[in-house]
């Protein structure tokens, strides 16, 4: 295959390594990481991937790649990758094999997977031993995979996307062997709910599979799917995220859809009284003229980032995951009132907590801190994680009951 030069205005999907095939030197690699979604009216030509202009990217090249990684929160199974099983309520530096630099981190209930800038995948936490399940406190390589450009995790399963656009699926501690899925070709984006999986291809079509007891696959029924199936209700989608039993999807024109469970108002529709919706419905109450640039799901909540640098949330708020203070559930999006007015660049949500990376490089957290996942003193009036101050944070990841940050 010829090494054709690609124009990168902005590219859909998680980190995409671009390899200069004329040189094996890793210093010639360029890495792109999502900063935020942008919307454009520019049309791509028919002979190029028609979603490459959907994301703005920040280049990680040479010394701009993250050099350090920190983790904090639940570590009962060694899933933080810090070499022990102690709970860490403040950021602790990870022990990365071969001094590798990371581009993405994803966690399930008892494990974590780490993607390096050169396409390798490591894991730690709960996994199968020789005769019984054991704990891996240190990162170990995941074998049987090609060059990987993105990885996501559900409660017990992992989905990885290769540079060639192939999707690999496996269940941590159950089968533990990555299997290539042949029925989701040309994939550009992968994501997970707790027991669901999603892919988006180059045409903006969505494939779904997994638990569907509350209609969280958005197929119009409550039937579980064990293999990927196209969702014909969704078109021109650029991002999709799932929670415990609900899902939200963002289209290229800025429309936000929700489907699945609505037990805590997580569908985000004021006058929708049903306990669930197996077909996509429109989320309302985002102010006119403000476009959504990123989306995330907690267990029973939703958090979105808008183009003006504000964060909106809705759903369950028993642990303050919406507003920083526990209160009643809310069934429509409301702006998150933070202690200080700062512009938010990116967000990431765990089961009951959220991380936000600010324009000034600081990292803020709010929600549940029962297992140290906020990385700060819960009673502190400021939401900032002071241990990360002046660390040059480049990306944050919240999953399950733990958190991570990649730094310069």
Distance CA 324, CA 255 (A): 27
Q: Which of 213, 98, 87, 197 is nearest to 153 (CA)?
A: 197
Helix (H, G, I), strand (E, B) or coil at 122: strand
Domain assignment present for residue 35? The answer is yes
> Taking the model in full, what pTM does it have?
0.85
- Is the per-residue pLDDT at 39 higher than 90? no
Q: pLDDT tens across 57-110, in order?
A: 333 444 467 889 999 999 998 999 988 889 999 999 998 888 899 999 999 999
Tell me what pLDDT residue 289 has. 81
In the predicted model, is pLDDT for residue 50 greater than 60? no
Confidence at residue 63, expressed as pLDDT on a 0 to 100 scale = 47
Distances (CA, A) of 144 to 53, 116, 165, 269, 370: 32, 16, 16, 44, 37
Q: Identify the residue with better confidence: 50 or 238.
A: 238
Q: Is the pLDDT of residue 130 over 50?
A: no
Higher local confidence (pLDDT), 132 or 93: 93
Residues in CB range of 307: below 8 A, 6 or more apart: 290, 291, 292, 293
Question: What is the predicted pLDDT for the residue at 193?
Answer: 97
Residues 6+ apart with CB under 8 A from 181: 166, 167, 168, 169, 227, 228
State in Å, rounded, how far the first CA of the chain is from the last one. Answer: 35
Per the domain annotation, does 92 fall within a domain?
A: no
Q: Which of 11-15, 83-87, 304-308 has the highest mean pLDDT?
A: 304-308
Q: In the prediction, which pLDDT does 268 show?
A: 95
Question: In the prediction, which pLDDT does 273 show?
Answer: 75
**Nearest alpha carbon to residue 196 among 145, 138, 245, 141:** 245
DSSP per-residue letters across 87-108: -EEEEEE---GGGPPEEEEEE-
Considering only residues 252 and 382, tell me which one the structure prediction assigns the higher pLDDT. 252
pLDDT for res 129: 39
- pLDDT tens per residue, range 184-237: 989 999 999 999 999 999 999 999 999 999 999 999 999 999 999 999 999 999
Per-residue pLDDT for 48 more than 70? no
Of the chain, the percentage scoring pLDDT greater than 70 comes to 82
Report the SS3 class of residue 388: helix
From CA 18, how far away is CA 40, in angstroms rounded? 23
The CA distance from 181 to 190, in Å, is 12
**Long-range contacts made by residues 271-276, C-beta under 8 angstroms, separation at least 24?**
272/331, 276/214, 276/215, 276/245
DSSP 53-70: TSEEEEEE-GGGS--EEE
Do the domain assignments include residue 102? no
Provide the number of structural domains found in the chain: 1
Task: Work out the angle at residue 66's Cα, subtended by the Cα atoms of residues 61 and 71, and round it to the nearest 5 degrees.
Answer: 160
> Is 339 contained in some domain?
no
Provide, rounded to the nearest whole percent, the portion of the chain with pLDDT above 90: 66
Alpha helix segments (H runs only) across 113-211? none
- What confidence tens digit (pLDDT) does each residue in 225-251 have? 999 999 999 999 999 999 999 999 999
In angstroms, the CA 372 to CA 378 distance is: 9
| 265: in domain | no
DSSP symbols for 358-386: ETTS-EEEEE--TTSTTSS-TT-SS-B-G
Mean pLDDT over each residue of the chain, to the nearest integer: 83
Q: What is the largest CA-CA distance in the chain?
A: 59
Residue 191: its pLDDT value, please? 98
184-187 long-range Cβ contacts below 8 angstroms, 24+ apart = 184/228, 187/161
Range of the structural domain that residue 39 is part of: 1-64
Q: What is the pLDDT of residue 127?
A: 58
Query: CA 92, CA 106: separation in Å to the nearest integer?
Result: 17
Residue 353 domain-assigned? no
Segment 130-147 shows an average pLDDT of 73
Q: What is the pLDDT of residues 365-388, one digit of tens each?
A: 999 998 999 999 877 778 999 999
Residue 233 lies in a domain: no
In a domain, 54, yes or no: yes
């Amino acid at each position: 295959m010829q090494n054709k030069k690609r124009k990168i205005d902005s590219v859909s999907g998680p980190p995409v390594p671009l390899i200069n095939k004329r040189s094996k030197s890793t210093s010639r690699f360029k890495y792109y990481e999502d900063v935020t979604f942008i919307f454009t009216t520019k049309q791509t030509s028919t002979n190029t991937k028609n979603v490459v202009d959907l994301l703005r990217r920040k280049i990680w090249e040479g010394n701009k790649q993250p050099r350090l990684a920190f983790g904090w929160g639940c570590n009962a199974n060694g899933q933080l990758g810090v070499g022990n099983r102690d709970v860490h309520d403040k950021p602790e530096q990870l022990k990365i094999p071969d001094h590798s630099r990371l581009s993405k981190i994803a966690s399930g209930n008892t494990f974590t997977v780490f993607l390096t800038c050169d396409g390798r995948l490591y894991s730690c936490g709960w996994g199968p031993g020789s005769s019984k399940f054991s704990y891996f406190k240190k990162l170990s390589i995941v074998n049987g995979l090609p060059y990987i450009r993105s990885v996501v995790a559900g409660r017990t399963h992992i989905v990885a996307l290769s540079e060639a656009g192939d999707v690999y699926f496996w269940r941590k501690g159950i089968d533990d062997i990555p299997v290539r899925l042949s029925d989701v070709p040309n994939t550009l984006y992968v994501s997970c709910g707790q027991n669901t999986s999603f892919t988006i291809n180059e045409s903006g079509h969505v494939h779904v599979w997994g638990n569907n007891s509350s209609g969280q696959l958005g197929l119009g029924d409550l039937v579980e799917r064990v293999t990927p199936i196209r969702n014909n209700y969704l078109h021109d989608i650029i991002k999709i995220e799932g929670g415990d039993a609900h899902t939200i999807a963002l289209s290229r024109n800025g429309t936000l859809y929700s489907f699945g469970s609505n037990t805590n108002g997580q569908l985000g529709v004021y006058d929708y009284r049903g306990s669930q919706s197996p077909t996509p419905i429109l989320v309302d109450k985002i102010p006119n003229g403000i476009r959504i640039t990123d989306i995330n799901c907690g267990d029973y909540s939703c958090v979105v980032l808008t183009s003006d640098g504000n964060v909106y949330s809705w759903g369950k708020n028993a642990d303050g995951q919406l507003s920083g203070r526990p209160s009643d559930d809310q069934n429509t999006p409301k702006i998150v009132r933070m202690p200080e007015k700062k512009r938010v660049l990116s967000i990431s949500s765990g089961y009951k907590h959220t991380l936000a990376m600010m324009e000034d490089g600081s990292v803020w957290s709010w929600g549940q801190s029962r297992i140290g996942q906020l990385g700060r003193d819960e009673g502190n009036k400021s939401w900032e994680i002071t241990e990360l101050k002046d660390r040059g944070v480049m990306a944050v990841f919240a999953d399950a009951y733990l958190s991570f940050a990649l730094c310069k």
